[in-house]
Structure 1
Amino acid sequence: MIKKKHNQNQSKSGSKTRDLYSLASELGLKFNKTSYLETAFIHSSFRNENPEYKEDNERLEFLGDSVLGLVVAKYLYRTNPSASEGELSRQKATLVSTAVLNGLSEKLGLSPFVLLGKGEGQGGAQKKLGANLFESLVGAIYLDQGMEAAEKFILKHLIDYIKTSDKIKEATDYKSTLQEICQKKFKLLPTYRLLKETGPDHEKTFYVSVSIRDKYTAEGKGKNKKFAEQDAAKQLLKVLKIKV
């Protein structure tokens, strides 16, 4: 069990720990060794400020990442018998992407229970916090109950989530798909060009073109250059009649 420290930080952590058991129950989880569950929600920044905590969730995150990858790969292999290795790799990359796992973590309500150090969890510093929490929780389930339980949890929550969520569409890497097709079919890479930027600094819209030998072209837009390139790649895939 997490030890109690008589200060404001510890009072908050104790409350979060008690609520964490309610969260686990809502998710259909019952841990034999509750320390695995608790450790899954201890961020390294919190442990650094509270040395009496001997471990944070980074090792569980590492383990959970591998378990998640194997379960998703197995699922895709079984449900897509005609897919090539490249297609399976792209699908897997999307399903375990930060965008998808962050969205799932938000849906499951994981982030409010993490113990963070002062100043952490704000702005862009913790963009992967939700995804990391999901992976560390998977790692904790695996250690406590084994592969079967971890797989059941992943398929129940992740697979159900991706079937109904727009996050998959947002996370699809159209640029990588287009690049792979161009290399195979045209023996070259697509060319991207920034056309223009519009709007105020805090709300810009970027317009980008992509072309293949100036024979096939398309344009896209987005709130930053990266998103605009993804949109342009998506549009060019439509021109090439490639279903993604």
Structure 2
Amino acid sequence: MIKKKYIQNKTESDPKDPSLLASELGLKFNKPSYLEIAFIHSSFRNENPEYKEDNERLEFLGDSVLGLVVAKYLYRTNPSASEGELSRKKATLVSTAMLNGLSEKLGLTSYVLLGKGEGQGGAQKKLGANLFESLVGAIYLDQGMEAAEKFILEHLIEYIKNSDKVKEATDYKSILQEICQKKFRLLPSYRLIKETGPDHEKTFYVSVSIRDKHSAEGKGKNKKFAEQDAAKQLLKALKIKV
């Protein structure tokens, strides 16, 4: 059992005990330490060396479990969907925006131990999503795949069904990445080619390539949009329907 230490954060005067969350969600851990580690951020462990573990490994594990469960769910519920359609749906369901929304609904960030300098900043944009993944990893280690699958389907899938904010905006980069990992066992490489136009109305041009054998170019009002367009063009060149 980990000796808990709570610090001030932005949502409560002190983070809540994760065991309260487990009770609210109907979870009973055989090893409560898994649950506790799921809510120890690396920034907190760095400032408190007596803590030997943080949630990054659980997050890594939970990400894989989540991906498998969602892929299985989509395969079963979309019998006529193509590989591209399934990849697109999966990318939406496991996106940072989706998991952040679910994490907010469950109130996960009110249980996390954060370092003093982590209350704000860009890294915290993924905090909720990361916590959901680490919690999934903790459930999997403690109770196995069946329990983890039940938790994911009960909360993520139901959240999606009942959310008015869910929009299946196609994430071409995620689709291309998943296909590249499966078919080529590597990640696509993006490169900024040039920027044109005045500062207030720039156009960015980006190239994407796979092993220098397949490539395409895209453009957009910022680098992010240009990368999405490049990924879209490469998917078209590879004759992959999305």
**TM-score of the two chains, using structure 2 as the length reference:** 0.69
Q: How many residues align?
A: 207
Deviation of 1:86 (Å):
1.0
* Alpha-carbon separation, structure 2, partners of 1:4 and 1:68: 27
**Partner of residue 97 from structure 2, selected from 99, 104, 122:** 99
CA contact (8 A) 1:162 1:168 kept: no
* Alpha-carbon separation, structure 2, partners of 1:16 and 1:122: 16
Instruction: Provide the residue aligned with 1:234 in structure 2.
Output: none
CA contact (8 A) 2:100 2:126 kept: yes
CA contact (8 A) 2:92 2:171 kept: yes
CA contact (8 A) 2:7 2:114 kept: no
CA contact (8 A) 2:58 2:137 kept: yes
Summarize the alignment of residues 108-187 of structure 1 with structure 2, pairs less than 5 Å apart: 108-163=106-161, 164-169=163-168, 172-173=170-171
Specify the code of the residue in structure 1 equivalent to 2:133.
E
Instruction: Provide the residue aligned with 1:84 in structure 2.
Output: 82
Which has the higher relative contact order, 1 or 2, with Cα contacts under 8 A spaced 6 or more apart?
A: 2
**Kindly tell me: are residues 76 and 106 of structure 1, through their superposed partners in 2, closer, same or farther at Cα, counting changes over 3 Å?**
same
Instruction: Provide the residue aligned with 1:57 in structure 2.
Output: 55
Structure with max Cα Rg: 1
* Alpha-carbon separation, structure 2, partners of 1:126 and 1:44: 12
CA contact (8 A) 2:7 2:113 kept: no
**Kindly tell me: are residues 149 and 46 of structure 1, through their superposed partners in 2, closer, same or farther at Cα, counting changes over 3 Å?**
same
Give the aligned CA root-mean-square deviation in angstroms.
3.8
* Alpha-carbon separation, structure 2, partners of 1:4 and 1:103: 27
**Kindly tell me: are residues 93 and 43 of structure 1, through their superposed partners in 2, closer, same or farther at Cα, counting changes over 3 Å?**
same
Deviation of 1:167 (Å):
3.5
**Partner of residue 65 from structure 2, selected from 67, 72, 77:** 67
Tell me, what secondary structure is at the counterpart of 1:127?
A: helix
Structure 2: gaps of 5 or more residues? 176-194, 204-220, 229-241
Moved more, 58-67 or 113-122: 113-122
| C-alpha distance after superposition, 1:131-179 (max 9, x if no partner) | 0000000000000000000000000000011112413346x437888xx
Deviation of 1:42 (Å):
0.2
Specify the code of the residue in structure 2 equivalent to 1:2.
I
Instruction: Provide the residue aligned with 2:25 in structure 1.
Output: 27
| C-alpha distance after superposition, 1:31-75 (max 9, x if no partner) | 111000000000000000101111000000000000000000000
CA contact (8 A) 1:42 1:56 kept: yes
| C-alpha distance after superposition, 1:74-101 (max 9, x if no partner) | 0000000011111111111111010100
Tell me, what secondary structure is at the counterpart of 1:168?
A: coil
**Partner of residue 37 from structure 2, selected from 36, 39, 42:** 39
| C-alpha distance after superposition, 1:97-119 (max 9, x if no partner) | 10100111001100111101011
* Alpha-carbon separation, structure 2, partners of 1:111 and 1:176: 26
Instruction: Provide the residue aligned with 1:180 in structure 2.
Output: none
Deviation of 1:16 (Å):
3.3
* Alpha-carbon separation, structure 2, partners of 1:4 and 1:37: 12
**Kindly tell me: are residues 17 and 55 of structure 1, through their superposed partners in 2, closer, same or farther at Cα, counting changes over 3 Å?**
farther
Deviation of 1:11 (Å):
6.2
Structure 1: gaps of 5 or more residues? 178-193, 200-204, 208-221, 231-243
Instruction: Provide the residue aligned with 2:213 in structure 1.
Output: none
